[in-house]
Amino acid sequence: MYGSLRFSIRTKLFCGIVVPAAILMVVIYLDYVNLSALGRSADTILAKNYKSIEAAYRISQVLQSRQNLMAQALWGVEARDLSAGGDPEELTRLLNICRNNITEAGESQIISGIAQLRPGYERLFASFRQSLAAGATWPKDNFRTLFDLQGRLTVHLNRLIVINEQAMKRADQETRHLAERAKSYSISLLIIAIFFVLGFSLLISRSISKPLINLARGLAGVKKDGQEYPKFPVTSRDEIGFLTTEFNRLFERLREYDQSNLEILNAEKAKVRAAEQAKSRFIAELSHQLKTPMTSLSMSVGVLAKKIRGDLPEKYAQLLDTAQEDCSRLSALANELVDVSRMESMAEPRPKEKLDLEDMMRKCLKPLALQAEEKGVNLIIHIQPDLPKVSMDSFRFPWVITNLVGNALRFTPQGRRIVLEVARRADSIIFTCQDTGTGVDPKYLPHVFDRYAQFSEREAMGTIGLGLAIVKEIIEQHAGDISVSSEPNQGTTFTFWIPIQAGGGHEQGADS
């Protein structure tokens, strides 16, 4: 195909560059004309500064007319025009013009200062005008306050005018300087560009053809994975046309190869998905079948241990203690199996609702309060009054509270305490769960939120280490975060927060 090239790239490029060179000559003239006009249009660029100055001057005139009216009243001269001083709505409109045309540093602070002083000034002036209309005597202290406010407003307005006038002068000088410099630079660069393009066209016309052919032939043998491959139309019989044809051949081969791999991959994914579904069903069914009998068994063994421990020989009492410990471990394992099912479904987003925190926490902690009482652990709950309703997942979030308090109860000996505090801080709700239990070794702290993290306390309880990982995921789904601190034999503190308006998920309603 290469031998049948009719119009090579070398000729095309050289002919194509001659036209841009002629266009560049025209651009030199047009650019010179446009840059000359730039200096003349500098005043229009500063329209916003002018608007601010004009509005400030008009406000100053209104203030001056008011000052004259107050001076007449102060010196006992009868006022001829009680409407002098303008309409407050007009002042508002002029102040909005200044606010909407902020262009310089410091303008915003000045306008804010005017806005802060104006309400008190307007109230005093309105009082003065009413007193003047009624023929009553206005206290001199009020005059002194009104003149002081007007003087401060005048200072702000003068500063605003000065800032904008200085900005207009600077911008005018910079624009004219830029216009002059742009003229000389543009002419020089465009002339250089003409000679560069002419020289480059000759160089590229000699060097581009062979690399393009070599590149096309090299790409024809490349095999690489891809998602979608285009098919380019062949529109010329030159080097580019040859390159296009080779690309099309390459993409066709890659398309067939990927299609074959995709079918194999889909089949494997289907097998993996079926296996995951079977595993999830098995775990859910197993945990369901184990949890109820284990709860009954644990309660029965616990009752037996309390009732007949004193009547049993030592070796039978030890067997009863062992049975009670094994029941606890098996119950914990059944709960962990439930955690596995929860972990599988955690990726699915759920709608959030506006919930009353105190009501939700009292309900979910009620069973744990009974367990704490039976164990002899003091469970203390401090909830800040009048907390706002919080956007949260009503199904998953209570599990965060019960898991953290349940863990604390599991590792807190009899006679000690667990403190759960909830308070608002800015736009977030802060939760703190502090126990005085066995604590966690510092070397394990960085890994307590890892899935299947194992260390001595968990191994002793027969758990597999998913609870805290799920807690962290649920909190992060509510756009929050959690941290932990602990000292061995001193206790552990979990602190986490969520925003009041939690991100992520769809919110069902304000009070649902």
Single-letter amino acid, residue 55? A
Which single residue is written with the structure tokens 């394992």?
333
- What pLDDT is stored for residue 425 in this prediction? 92
Cβ(433)–Cβ(494) below 8 Å: yes
- What pLDDT is stored for residue 458 in this prediction? 46
| Number of Cβ within a 10 Å radius of residue 233 | 7
Cβ(477)–Cβ(393) below 8 Å: yes
3-state secondary structure of 508: coil
Going across the sheet that includes 378-383, the strands are: 378-383, 417-425, 428-435, 491-499, 481-487
- What pLDDT is stored for residue 280 in this prediction? 60
- What pLDDT is stored for residue 502 in this prediction? 56
Single-letter amino acid, residue 278? A
- What pLDDT is stored for residue 431 in this prediction? 96
Question: Tens-of-pLDDT digits for all 512 residues of the chain?
Answer: 444 555 666 666 666 677 667 767 777 776 676 666 665 555 555 566 777 888 888 888 888 887 887 777 777 766 555 565 667 787 788 888 888 878 778 888 888 888 888 888 888 888 877 887 777 777 878 888 888 888 888 888 888 888 888 877 777 777 777 677 666 766 776 787 777 677 766 766 666 666 566 556 655 555 554 456 667 677 767 667 777 777 778 777 777 777 788 788 888 888 877 766 666 666 655 555 565 576 667 666 766 666 676 666 776 666 766 776 667 666 666 666 665 665 555 556 677 888 899 999 888 888 888 888 888 999 999 999 989 999 888 888 888 998 899 889 888 999 999 999 999 998 999 999 999 988 888 888 888 888 766 554 544 444 556 778 888 988 998 899 999 999 888 899 999 999 987 544 445 544 43
CA distance 331 to 393: 26
- What pLDDT is stored for residue 142 in this prediction? 83
Task: Please report the beta strands in 213-319, taking only residues with DSSP state E, as ranges in sequence order.
Answer: none
CA distance 78 to 132: 9
Q: Is the pTM of this model over 0.85?
A: no
Conformation bin of residue 428: beta by default, left when phi > 0, alpha when psi is -120 to 50: beta
- What pLDDT is stored for residue 221 in this prediction? 52
- What pLDDT is stored for residue 270 in this prediction? 80
Alpha helix locations (H) across 435-494?
456-461, 467-477
As a whole number of Å, the CA-based R_g of the chain is: 41
Comparing C-alpha atoms, which of 194, 255, 193 is closest to residue 224? 255
